Structure formats: structure tokens, C-alpha cells
Structure 1
């Protein structure tokens, strides 16, 4: 049985932990990608990520992320390519409208962080580790940024093709408030 003093100390520590890792809403950001193909490099975007995050620089292990990106927001400045990429052959946005990342572990590694969790694209969910940086702006919001590579074939995005490389580089930025 807890003594009165032990209970007060516990409540103070619990409230301090809550204050240092509060749930935030992702209010803006960007999702950019690039993939090499026979004629050079294709650059494109998706809409900004949406979702919730709990992040604490002082206690990163208590952090969690649950974010989505609208798969239909895919853009490369080529209407025919964009339509093709949204089709069943690639992202199949009619059936799989969201790309989702849900963390299971966050840890600090040097001056940056790693978020390990499940990335779901189309009908495939895989465990990935996304490196990221966190910068708190003077006016309050926190900016998280991650650049990582993924193999599009692991997520059934297209087929093996000598004209298109398998590795895609993604840069994801999320602003939390």
C-alpha cells in the first residue's frame, strides 16, 4: 500500500511525464519522393502527412506516431503518369487510399532519432525503422524530418522493370502542434 508521500511523488512524476510528452496533431508538412528511371530521375510529391504524435525530446522512448498520407495525392507533373501510378498496377488508390505508419518504438541515436514501426502501403505491412530529426521552433511547433529508402517491389508497387529502379527515396516532414 502506498503511503501518502509516495502517492504524491508518484502523481507529480506522472504529471511531469505527461507534460513532457503530450499528444500533438500533425498540422502541416510534406511528402516528397524520387526514383531513378531510364531517362533520369522522377521527382514527385504526396500530400502532407496527417495524424497524431506523442513526442518528447527528453523521453523519446515514450513517443509514438500514427500518421497517414493520402495515396491519391500522388503528383509528378505528368497527368498520364500520375493516373497510371494511381491505378491497380501501382498504388491502387481506389482500394488502398492511405499509406500509414504506426510506430512501436522510438529511440534516440546520437543527435537524431529512430522510429520503428509498421509501414503499410497497399496490402502490405512491413516493419521499418525511419531515422528522423526533431527541431522545436521558437514559436512552439515541432518539426520532424525523415529521409529513408524503400524498395517499391516490397509493397507491390509495379513490377520488376529494367526501365524503373526498385529503390525509392522518400523525404517526409511533419509539423506538430
Structure 2
């Protein structure tokens, strides 16, 4: 019996050891849309993404997805609006220079390469847990993380209630990565 256990031990250990993959971001697109006055849509983006992405579809318990963007990089294509959004009433970028997203749990969805992530989203000094459905598409040593979610901007102290600006914004994330 002792010999059998010694023989099976490496096999049992290998069955429970699943590698966790680390992915280095090579490019990222973080964009948003929000309804504006008279049904128009305002669009914009953030730059300066930095991330630490540990993800293996076969080992979701050890997955860890963390990312930040630089708040002052907000860009809508209209300088006056960008400067207003950087100000204290909206993103207060001098006081809160980064926006962060940190996973708390990742689950496999019922369909193919689809997952549901639960993340702590911090904007300004306010952190709330959000649900982010995303896809993970691997192609050799490269992979793409892609997802979108909605937030209520008022919950994060981004402006005030307004008849001209919807409370809900949609954020889209596309991150191209290289396996390291």
C-alpha cells in the first residue's frame, strides 16, 4: 500500500496543479458612451492603461485581473468638455489621478470563451463592486480580453443629476496581451 501511494502521489499532485498564465498588456482601448441632450451620445476614452493580468481558463480560482487608467487622459474630442470633465465636479484628476479595476471573483459562463468577472471599481475615492461580462480569446501566445459594463456616474460622484446628461454610462474595455 505504501508503494502504491508513493507511486500515485506525483500523479495526484499533477492533477491538482494547473498553471496560471500571466498576460502582459500590449495595447488597450478603454472607452465610454453616455446619452446627452436630445438623444445625442457623447463618446470618449482614457489612456495610460497599466495592468497585471493573471488568467487561465482552467484555473479561475487563481485568476487576478487588475488595471488602472490615468484619469487626466480623458478625451472626448472637445477640449472644453475634456477640461470640464477633469475638474473637481467630475473626475477631480489632480486629487484622484487613477481609476482602478480589481477582480474579486471570476466565473465561467455557459458559452465558450465567455466569463463573468466581479470587480471593485474605484473612481475618485469611491469603490463599488461591479459585474463585468467579458470574453477571453487566445491565439497562440497572444490573447484579447474584451468586455463592457454600465455604471451610474452619480454613484461615483461624477457630476450631478442633470436633465442634459444621462446618469448611466457604458464602459467598454479591449486589452490585447502577450503571454509572459
For these two proteins, the number of residue pairs brought into alignment is 171
1:90 partner SS = coil
Q: Is the 8 A contact 1:28 1:48 kept in 2?
A: no
Q: Is the 8 A contact 1:49 1:174 kept in 2?
A: no
In 2, distance between residues paired with 1:34 and 1:52?
Answer: 25
Structure 1 residue 10: deviation in Å?
Answer: 5.2
| Corresponding residue of 2:131 | 129
Q: Is the 8 A contact 2:48 2:73 kept in 1?
A: no
Unaligned runs of 5+ residues in structure 2 are none
| Corresponding residue of 2:142 | 141
| Corresponding residue of 2:79 | 79
Structure 1 residue 158: deviation in Å?
Answer: 0.3
- Among 118, 121, 142, the alignment partner of 1:119 is 121
Structure 1 residue 7: deviation in Å?
Answer: 4.8
| Corresponding residue of 2:161 | 160
Structure 1 residue 11: deviation in Å?
Answer: 4.7
In 2, distance between residues paired with 1:51 and 1:5?
Answer: 42
Q: Is the 8 A contact 2:154 2:160 kept in 1?
A: yes
| Corresponding residue of 1:28 | 27
Structure 1 residue 44: deviation in Å?
Answer: 0.7
Unaligned runs of 5+ residues in structure 1 are none
Q: Is the 8 A contact 1:65 1:103 kept in 2?
A: yes
- Residues 29 and 67 from structure 1, CA distance in 2 versus in 1: closer, same or farther, beyond 3 angstroms? same
Structure 1 residue 60: deviation in Å?
Answer: 2.6
| Corresponding residue of 1:68 | 68
Greater Rg, structure 1 or structure 2?
A: 2
State whether structure 2 residue 173 is matched by structure 1 residue 172.
yes
Structure 1 residue 155: deviation in Å?
Answer: 0.4
TM-score scaled to structure 2, two decimals? 0.88
Structure 1 residue 5: deviation in Å?
Answer: 4.0
